[in-house]
Amino acid sequence: MKQDLLTFADWTPEAMENLLQLAIEIKQAPASYSNVLAGKSVVALFEKPSLRTRVSFDIGINKLGGHMVYLDVQSGKLAGREDSVDTAANIACWADAIVARVFSHDTLTTFANAANIPVVNALCDKYHPCQGLADYITMFERFGKTKGLTMAYVGDGNNVTHSLLIVGALLGCNQVVITPQGHEADASVVAHAKTLAAQTGASIVESTELNAAKGADVIYTDTWLSMGDETPLATIKEKFMPYQVNEALMESSGARYVMHCQPAHRDLEITGSLIDSDKSLLMQQAENRMHGQNAILTQLLSA
Ligand code: CP
Ligand code: NVA
């Protein structure tokens, strides 16, 4: 039976750990994986812009011996022409997998039900699982483990927060989620992550106070306004500015590294100087997007 990768929420800690190790193996010995997608084609359908996800999937699939077709659904020329079920069923006539970046998570479940080929979530309103995987690969590389580490996420509770919570819980990484009031992570995702964390011994704490980051190994942040959110920056800037990830927070928390999924907005959610500092893991995270995704595709398509 085909498997999709929409959230990681139904994965076991063991399966998550194995996938992380597969990604590291592929990164270290790419030649051993250069044919796993030979003769296979992946359709990448994007309803929103992307640099990292689009390019890392395209080049990554090429490195596995496969072929990617990019489908632009942002221009308006494809949007609304037919129902999502029909789009997905047609793609499944030719392709071996669908990678999709969509506005609504429901579109992904529609695709997954309509297509008899694997569907991979390349970001939706609720999750960004490929990002979460890359980020814990990065932490593993830096610390030699994920279990027992603490990540403090500071900023808007969003799709990236949710995937960090789920993947982190499965990998035994403690989470502190610090958001301004009214911008918390989704309560049902937090509750589910806590049930996963109970299996690995990880803790999950929510706070509106920056001092909750004290003792964290890494500080993580993301944009205050996610794609599709038309809220004017001016209306939220004052509320979010105290949550800026900067040198003072790195100092007071004692964190060794700073992380951000990017695109980053210099001197808003993170200072430009911190991005450019030796505490920054941003480019390593970006690089690991490809290796993590290649592990996902290897697992879903070589089964
Ligand atoms: N981090 C990430 O998903 O970047 P893109 O939006 O550029 O793909
Ligand atoms: N939360 C951000 C992540 C971008 C990679 C967004 O959805 O726009």
For the domain that residue 85 is a member of, what is the CATH number? 3.40.50.1370
User: How does pLDDT run along the chain (303 residues), one tens digit per residue?
Assistant: 899 999 999 999 999 999 999 999 999 999 999 999 999 999 999 999 999 999 999 999 999 999 999 999 988 777 788 999 999 999 999 999 999 999 999 999 999 999 999 999 999 999 999 999 999 999 999 999 999 999 999 999 999 999 999 999 999 999 999 999 999 999 999 999 999 999 999 999 999 999 999 999 999 999 999 999 999 999 999 999 999 999 999 999 999 999 999 999 999 999 999 999 999 999 999 999 999 999 999 999 986
Pocket test for ligand 2, best of 102, 163, 261, 282 (most atoms within 8 A of CB): 261
For residue 111, the CA-to-ligand 2 centroid distance in Å is 21
CA of 289 to the centre of ligand 1 (A): 9
CB-neighbour burial class of residue 144 (10 A; exposed 0-12, middle 13-18, buried 19+):
exposed
Answer yes or no: is 2 within a domain: no
Tokens of 172: 């035994």
- Are 140 and 187 within one domain? yes
Which of the listed residues 46, 47, 48, 52 should we mutate to test ligand 1's pocket, taking the one with most ligand atoms within 8 A of CB?
52
The count of structural domains within the chain is 2
The CA-CA-CA angle for residues 165, 88, 292, to 5°, reads 35
Of ligand 1's atoms, which has the minimum distance to the CA of residue 49?
A: 6
Asked whether residue 3 is domain-assigned, the answer is no
Indicate if 135 and 123 belong to the same structural domain: no
The token pair at 201 is 């011994």
Both 186 and 248 in a single domain?
A: yes
CB 296 within 8 A of CB 16: no
- Of the listed ligands, the closest to the CA of 158 is 2
Q: Is 116 a member of any domain?
A: yes
Same domain flag for 260 and 169: yes
The torsion angle over the Cα atoms of residues 268, 273, 274 and 276, rounded to 10 degrees, is 120
Q: Which residues line ligand 2 (CB under 6 A)?
A: 123, 158-160, 222-223, 226-227, 261
Closest ligand 1 atom to 53 CA: 8
pTM above 0.95, yes or no: yes
Kindly state whether residues 139 and 274 are assigned to the same domain.
Answer: yes
Phi/psi at 91 (5° precision): -60, -40
* Closest alpha carbon to 48 in 157, 137, 159, 138: 159
What DSSP assignment string belongs to 242-295?
Answer: GG-B-HHHHHHHT-SEEEE-S---BTTTB-HHHHTSTTB-HHHHHHHHHHHHHH
Q: How far is the CA of 121 from the centre of ligand 2 (A)?
A: 13
Residue 175 φ/ψ, nearest 5 degrees: -125, 135
| Domain match, 275 and 290 both | no
101: left (phi over 0), alpha (psi -120 to 50) or beta: beta
Q: What is the complex's ipTM, to 2 decimals?
A: 0.99
Both 298 and 217 in one domain: the answer is no
- CA–centroid distance, 55 to ligand 1, in Å, is 9
Residue 259 and residue 138 in one domain: yes
Question: Which residue minimizes the CA distance to atom 2 of ligand 2?
Answer: 226
Residues with CB under 6 A from ligand 1: 50-53, 123, 131, 261-263
Q: Which domain holds residue 31?
A: 13-128+286-302
Say yes or no: 105 and 163 in one domain.
Answer: no
Residues 106, 149, single domain; the answer is no
Residues 273 and 140 in one domain: yes
Ligand sitting nearest the alpha carbon of 226: 2
Say if 6 falls within a structural domain: no
Q: What is the DSSP letter of 36?
A: T
Structural domain includes residue 74: yes
Q: Which of 234, 203, 200 is nearest to 216 (CA)?
A: 203
Q: For residues 223 and 180, state if they share a domain.
A: yes
φ/ψ bin of 7: left (φ > 0), alpha (ψ from -120 to 50), beta (otherwise):
alpha
Helix or strand run (H / E) with residue 106: helix 105-114
